[in-house]
């Protein structure tokens, strides 16, 4: 006799046993035969049909336990086995750059629904939430940011593999992508490129001139091999290998024949009466000018043209009595006979302006390609004599 009170069986199934004697009489079989067929039916229902419906709570608990156990026992390096693909890595890197699923999908040449499904697949593989949606798009969680940083490095390494193979095929050649703020670009990068061109003519070099925050973000996104810039205050310096290159001195620029050039020394009160061409508020050079006027208690000039274009700045200074500020390397280029031959001059003022030092930066633990190493070494050599024994981190 089956024990209908046993915890291994559901009592609802055994209500049929109440009529087992009547069934035995109708079909002419004994009681044991009826029970045997009922046991077969119950076994089938238990394992094939009823269990998912009647035991979903207990099954969920068991499944949750199994998942947690699998997570604890999972070994590093299982991501590929669990289904992580190169397209997943590309999507996370694009999402970190664009902050919108539609824009990231466009980068990968897929539809937005396909990108959303792919993102859900990645989160399922990693078993963590990688993104959060909001009114302005998508932001990555801490898990997403960690993966995005690694994804950018992986994609950069794949690019380096392709480049290095091409370099091996064609001899010493390849492509180098670098960025620099304006002063060092003129003072260090151009002389280094001229020397590299003589010995390694097959190297193709791309240079971006921008502000430090933009250049550092480009470096983190693996769009540059290295940059010459300042590390932003909100950025972790441990992300980079840092080679100190030097401080930057600023000069006051005016056109050749400017009325103030007749004076041996010029005061800030005299300077503020002229038009100025300055970089936008918040820029490092603009802050240096603001601080100079504040330090001596002189009001800022009333007439200021804001622009980040060095070309527009030079044209305005050359064709009007406007005043501007630039790094000493740029001022020297304007005055040098091999540059602009003195069409723009510098004013002699008592207070010299200095801004934060700039550094040669590349991502820590990332190996530069052979071509990038060559140009990196030439740029370092440009400042080796001036900065012997300077601070460097590796």
Whether the pLDDT of residue 30 is over 70: the answer is no
Q: 66-75, 117-126, 276-285, 368-377: which has the minimum mean pLDDT?
A: 66-75
Whether the pLDDT of residue 7 is over 80: the answer is no
- 311 and 369 share one domain: no
User: Would residue 206 count as lying in a domain?
Assistant: yes
User: Would residue 46 count as lying in a domain?
Assistant: yes
Q: How many independent structural domains does the chain possess?
A: 4
Output the domain CATH number for residue 338. Answer: 3.40.190.290
Whether the pLDDT of residue 8 is over 50: the answer is no
Place 195 in a pLDDT band, splitting at 50, 70 and 90.
very high
> Rounded distance, CA 335 to CA 269, Å?
25
- Domain span at residue 52 reads 11-71
- 258 and 352 share one domain: yes
- The answer to whether the beta carbons of residues 206 and 176 sit under 8 Å apart is yes
The upper half-sphere exposure of residue 153, i.e. CA atoms within 13 Å in the direction of its Cβ, equals 14
> Rounded distance, CA 289 to CA 294, Å?
9
pLDDT value at residue 63: 41
User: Would residue 4 count as lying in a domain?
Assistant: no
Phi, psi for 393 (deg, rounded to 5)? -120, 145
Output the domain CATH number for residue 214. Answer: 3.40.190.10
Residue range 299-318: mean pLDDT, rounded: 92
- 252 and 349 share one domain: yes
* Mean confidence (pLDDT) of the chain: 80
- 202 and 65 share one domain: no
Helices (H) and strands (E) in the chain, counts: 16, 12
User: Would residue 160 count as lying in a domain?
Assistant: no
Q: 11-15, 29-33, 365-369, 375-379: which has the minimum mean pLDDT?
A: 11-15
> Rounded distance, CA 152 to CA 235, Å?
17
Residue range 353-372: mean pLDDT, rounded: 87
Residue range 208-219: mean pLDDT, rounded: 92
- 148 and 106 share one domain: yes
- 259 and 381 share one domain: no
User: Would residue 159 count as lying in a domain?
Assistant: no
User: Would residue 304 count as lying in a domain?
Assistant: yes
Which of 273, 300, 305 has the alpha carbon at shortest distance from 287?
Answer: 300
User: Would residue 162 count as lying in a domain?
Assistant: no
Q: 44-53, 63-72, 92-101: which has the minimum mean pLDDT?
A: 63-72
Place 81 in a pLDDT band, splitting at 50, 70 and 90.
confident
Here the tokens at position 283 are 């820029």
User: Would residue 163 count as lying in a domain?
Assistant: no
Instruction: For residue range 325-336, list pLDDT tens digits in order.
Output: 998 888 888 888
- 48 and 196 share one domain: no
The upper half-sphere exposure of residue 388, i.e. CA atoms within 13 Å in the direction of its Cβ, equals 1
What 8-state DSSP symbol labels residue 266? B
Whether the pLDDT of residue 169 is over 70: the answer is no
Instruction: For residue range 178-187, list pLDDT tens digits in order.
Output: 999 988 888 8
Which of 295, 184, 199, 300 has the alpha carbon at shortest distance from 244?
Answer: 184
């Amino acid at each position: 006799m089956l024990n209908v009170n046993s915890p291994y069986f559901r009592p609802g199934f055994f209500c049929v046993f109440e009529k087992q004697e009547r069934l035995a009489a109708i079909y002419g079989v004994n009681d044991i035969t009826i029970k045997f067929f009922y046991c077969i039916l119950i076994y089938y229902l238990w394992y094939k049909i009823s269990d998912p419906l009647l035991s979903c709570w207990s099954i969920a608990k068991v499944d949750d336990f199994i998942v947690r156990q699998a997570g604890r026992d999972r070994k590093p390096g299982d991501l590929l086995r669990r289904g992580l693909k190169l397209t997943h890595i590309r999507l996370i890197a694009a999402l970190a750059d664009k902050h919108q699923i539609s824009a990231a999908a466009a980068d990968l040449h897929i539809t937005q629904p396909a990108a959303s499904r792919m993102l859900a697949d990645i989160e399922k593989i990693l078993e963590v939430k990688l993104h959060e949606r909001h009114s302005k798009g998508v932001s990555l969680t801490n898990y997403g940011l960690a993966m995005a940083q690694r994804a950018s490095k992986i994609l950069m390494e794949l690019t380096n593999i392709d480049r290095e193979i091409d370099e091996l095929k064609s001899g010493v050649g390849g492509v180098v992508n670098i960025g620099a703020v304006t002063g060092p670009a003129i003072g260090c990068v151009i002389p280094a490129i001229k020397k590299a061109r003589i010995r390694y003519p097959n190297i193709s070099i791309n240079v971006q001139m921008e502000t430090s925050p933009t250049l550092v973000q480009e470096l983190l996104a693996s769009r540059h091999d290295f940059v010459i810039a300042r590390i932003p205050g909100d950025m972790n310096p441990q992300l980079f290998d840092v080679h100190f290159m030097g401080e930057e001195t600023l000069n006051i620029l005016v056109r050749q024949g400017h009325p103030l050039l007749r004076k041996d020394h010029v005061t800030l009160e005299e300077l503020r009466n002229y038009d100025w061409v300055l970089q936008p508020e918040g820029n490092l050079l603009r802050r240096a000018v603001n601080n100079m006027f504040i330090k001596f208690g002189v009001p800022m000039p009333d007439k200021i043209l804001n622009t980040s274009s060095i070309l527009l700045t030079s044209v305005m200074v050359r064709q009007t009595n406007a005043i501007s500020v630039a790094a000493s390397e740029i001022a020297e280029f304007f005055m040098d006979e091999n540059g602009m031959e003195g069409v723009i001059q510098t004013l002699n003022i008592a207070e010299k302006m200095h801004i934060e030092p700039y550094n040669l930066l590349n991502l820590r633990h990332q190996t530069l390609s052979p071509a990038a190493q060559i140009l990196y070494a030439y740029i370092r050599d440009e400042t080796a004599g001036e900065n012997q024994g300077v601070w460097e981190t590796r």
